[in-house]
Amino acid sequence: GAVVSQHPSWVICKSGTSVKIECRSLDFQATTMFWYRQFPKQSLMLMATSNEGSKATYEQGVEKDKFLINHASLTLSTLTVTSAHPEDSSFYICSARWTNYEQYFGPGTRLTVT
Amino acid sequence: GENVEQHPSTLSVQEGDSAVIKCTYSDSASNYFPWYKQELGKRPQLIIDIRSNVGEKKDQRIAVTLNKTAKHFSLHITETQPEDSAVYFCAARKVQGAQKLVFGQGTRLTINP
């Protein structure tokens, strides 16, 4: 199966600082990657769709200036949470589409903003 | 847009019994339906999927059925084991283009020994 890695697995930062999360497809090229946010005991909420070499498409209600997404290559997408606040604390998960069908998830990044 | 409803939200079964989780979708154009298993604090793992050109797919103790007319699909787990305890999510999407997966609300499955 396809492998998606994510780094870091957890991060603690102070309010007002920025945090970058990396998502990599290790054994395949992903033209499309997705960023999700998941609160405890809830479903996955899609934040944005990232296509290599083009601007990300954000879901309604997601601030594009706060959650910066860069998909610089076919194997790497990054999410930067800018000026983080405690309410941004969450579990962030990336996902990459391997074929036209299967979509695989990274291990997630637990962000805590103090 | 697509909307996926999943039931039940929690399910508790005795070890060895079967578990069934049901989902309905709204967009008749959706043609790909994966199921994911997520253990606490871990990534969702694709466990089985079905495309709209088939009505049933089985992989060992796991099976998925699809009724396109009624727009619902179900996950069946037989001979449940404690390691089946997790949250299960169904999803649906159209394969054409960069269409996004729409997830159900999740079902917390507990297998009682």
pLDDT tens digits along B25-51:
999 999 999 999 999 999 999 999 999
Return the pLDDT at B2: 87
Residues in chain B: 113
Q: Which tokens sit at B112?
A: 């009682």
| Coil/strand/helix, residue A88 | helix
**A26: chain B residues, CB-CB within 8 Å:** none
Testing the interface with A: which of B49, B59, B100, B109 to mutate, by most A Cβ within 10 A? B100
Question: How many residues belong to chain A?
Answer: 114
| Interface touch A42/B106, C-beta < 8 Å | yes
Q: Which of residues 54-83 of B touch A (CB under 8 A)?
A: none
- CB-closest option in A51, A102, A104 to B98: A51
Tell me the percentage of chain A whose pLDDT exceeds 90: 76
Q: Which segments in chain B show pLDDT lower than 70? A: 97-98
Nearest CA-CA partner of B87 in B17, B6, B30? B6
Interface test with B, best of A101, A104, A111 (most B CBs within 10 A): A101
- Contact present, A32 and B98 (Cβ < 8 Å): yes
- Residues in contact with B6: Cβ distance below 8 Å, sequence separation at least 6, in sequence order: B21, B22, B23, B89, B90, B104, B105, B106, B107
